[in-house]
Amino acid sequence: MKAMKVKHFIFLFFILVAHYSTATAQLVADKELKQTNTDTIDVEHYRKLFSDSLPKPYSWTNDYAWLYSTAQRNYLDSTIADFEKRTTVEICIVTLDTFCISDENFDALALKIATTWGVGKKETNNGVVICISPGYRKIRVCNGFGIEKYLSDAETKKIIDDTILSQFKEGNYFSGTVAGLIAIMGKLSPFYSPSQNHSPGN
């Protein structure tokens, strides 16, 4: 009789342990799911905030993905500034972290940045925006209407495919950006004469 009670007690003990383990695992899973949902909501909220209230450009190179070192950003800025002084063409580089935009909205945001920031002179619309997302492995070059006369979509695509992406695929983002920048400048240089400096966003 005592043996039966002991066996019965052991049986109930294992049932309780199993139930507790299952309940604990479920609580952990629920907590992780809620955290994932919260993180997703926070990211989407930040992306919407970034898109709806775009920050003003702080330089010719706006590195929101922290893709370049300080020295590299300074080099890009000085290269673009020198080119702008000689030609009046304004070129703006923007890198976007995945927190800034979703994959499917990357192109739309690149266009919005180009139009909202007003890159290029108002009277000639001679701006170029190079938008890069290392997280999504995407790049979009937006040419102003004044640029399109001298740099076609087909030529822009060729520069992206042959010059920029070949470096990006090796993880050489700075080298690829510089190579693409030089290629774009080389295409546009013959068509523009020197002028005074003009800051981005004006």
- The pLDDT value recorded for residue 159 is 97
Q: Residue 104 carries which DSSP code? A: G
Instruction: Indicate the pTM of the whole model.
Output: 0.74
What averages of pLDDT result for each successive group of 10 residues across the chain (202 residues)?
46 44 44 45 79 88 96 98 96 92 90 93 94 94 95 96 95 97 96 57 45
- What's the burial of 95, exposed, middle or buried (CB within 10 Å: 0-12/13-18/19+)? buried
Strands, DSSP E only, in the chain? 61-63, 90-95, 127-133, 138-143
- Which tokens sit at 191? 């068509």
- The pLDDT value recorded for residue 98 is 87
- The pLDDT value recorded for residue 168 is 95
Residues in the chain, total: 202
